[in-house]
Amino acid sequence: MLILECPYCGVNADETELHAGGEAHLKRFGPEASDEEFEGYLFVRENPKGVHLERWQHRYGCGKWFHAARCTTTLEVFGTYPAQTLAPPKELVAKIKEKRPDWTWREFGGAST
Amino acid sequence: MSDMAVITRADARGMITLRGDLGSAKMKKAVKAATDQAIPTSGQFLGNGDKGVAWMSPDELLLIVPYDGVAQAIEVLEQALVKTHFLAVDVSDARATFTVSGDGTRDVLARLCPVDLHPDSFGTGQVRRTRLAQIAAAFWMHDAGFDVVCFRSVADYAEGVLTRAATTGEKTGFFA
Ligand SMILES: [Zn+2]
């Protein structure tokens, strides 16, 4: 069973109290975008076998959306963080890299971050 | 074998959903004026079933007032919060409240909710919004047990699962 700590409540929420919201940090492309950009926004996903950044909603609790870093194969949770951000916190990236040195995810986790 | 707890449907309570900036001085004054309570911290319930306030989210409180005092309490809130961005809504008739009392109350809720109810993790004065079997609910703990709140449209379901959890089987002994 997956348990994620809601960063707004501090509650250790069970998977059944949560609602999965798909991939985190998607950049929205609107009416002026190119076909490729819009396709990327709508359809192109990381879908990694490894640590993934996801959106979750504490639906049966405070109702807020937050982000989580979770391994899709082991279900290991590396951490959660509020949704009011464009990137995962540096400490969280460091924590992931410590265990998974080769981890990268979109523009995050590379040599520069 | 005796029942683990007694489930009682409580009389109608006045309930107000209050949303806004919980850190503001005006909000503090408003909540004080309406309930005699301070702003609860995360996960905290202050007061009692007649007049109290439950922390629901970083920008939401549930105020408990006497059922026939709701209109007046909302007026007090609206005056205190004038010119700020807030929401105060009477949700009294949208809710049902149950009291869970007895010596096995933690067992009863632990059967229905994915919540750590060990005394080390959850105690008097704490509130939790969660899932009760298949429905959304919130409960807080006081000296005589728990108060459980859910939507009135699913009150019969809540009463059923609570009663069944309270009257069948044995206590686990985990919460002694
Ligand atoms: Zn939450």
Q: CB of B67 within 8 A of CB of B12?
A: yes
The DSSP symbol for A44 reads: -
Q: Check residue A113 and give its pLDDT.
A: 47
Identify whether A100 is part of a domain: no
Euclidean distance between CA atoms A69 and B176, whole angstroms:
36
- From A107's Cα to the closest Cα of chain B, the distance in A is 31
Nearest CA in chain A to B134: A16
Which of B41, B87, B131, B140 would you mutate first to test chain A, the one with the most A CBs within 10 A?
Answer: B131
- pLDDT computed for residue B1 by the predictor: 58
Residues near A52 by beta carbon (within 8 Å), at least 6 away in sequence: A23, A46, A69, A70, A71, A72, A105
Q: Which residues surround ligand 1, an ion (CB under 5 A)?
A: A 6, 8-9, 58, 61-62
Residue A67 lies in a domain: yes
Whether A22 maps to a domain, the answer reads: yes
- The low-confidence residues of chain B, meaning pLDDT below 70, are 1
Cross-chain residue pair B128–A11, CB shorter than 8 Å: yes
How many Å lie between the centroid of ligand 1 and the Cα of residue A64? 6
The CATH number that applies at residue A71 is: 3.30.2270.10
Reported confidence tier of residue A110, pLDDT bands at 50, 70, 90:
confident
Q: Per the structure, how many domains does chain A have?
A: 1
What domains sit in chain B, N to C, each tagged with a CATH number?
Answer: 6-10+94-167 (3.30.1360.120), 14-93 (3.30.70.1520)
Site from B42, B117, B129, B148 to mutate, A interface, most A CB atoms within 10 angstroms? B129
| DSSP type of residue B12 | P
Q: A with B: how many residue pairs have Cβ under 8 Å apart? A: 36
Residue A5: is its pLDDT beyond 70?
A: yes
Please check whether residue A31 lies inside any domain of the structure. yes
Q: Give residue A16's Cα distance to chain centre.
A: 18
Q: Tell me if A83 is assigned to some domain.
A: yes
Across the interface, do B58 and A11 touch by the CB < 8 Å criterion? no
- The pLDDT value given to residue A53: 98
On whether residue A96 sits in a domain, the answer given is: no
Q: Which of A2, A9, A58, A64 to mutate to test the interface with B (most CBs of B within 10 A)?
A: A9
Q: State the pLDDT confidence band at A112, using cuts at 50, 70 and 90.
A: low
The confidence score (pLDDT) of residue B176 equals: 74
The answer to whether position A101 is within a domain reads no
Does a structural domain hold residue A11?
Answer: yes
- Write down the mean pLDDT value for chain A: 95
Tens digit of each residue's pLDDT (9 = 90 or more) over A43-90: 999 999 999 999 999 999 999 999 999 999 999 999 999 999 999 999
Domain that holds residue A66: 3-87
> How confident is the model over A5-15, as a mean pLDDT?
96
| Ligand 1 geometric centre to CA of B126 (Å) | 15
- Say what the pLDDT of residue B142 is: 95
Phi-psi region of A62 (alpha: psi -120 to 50; beta: other; left: phi over 0): alpha
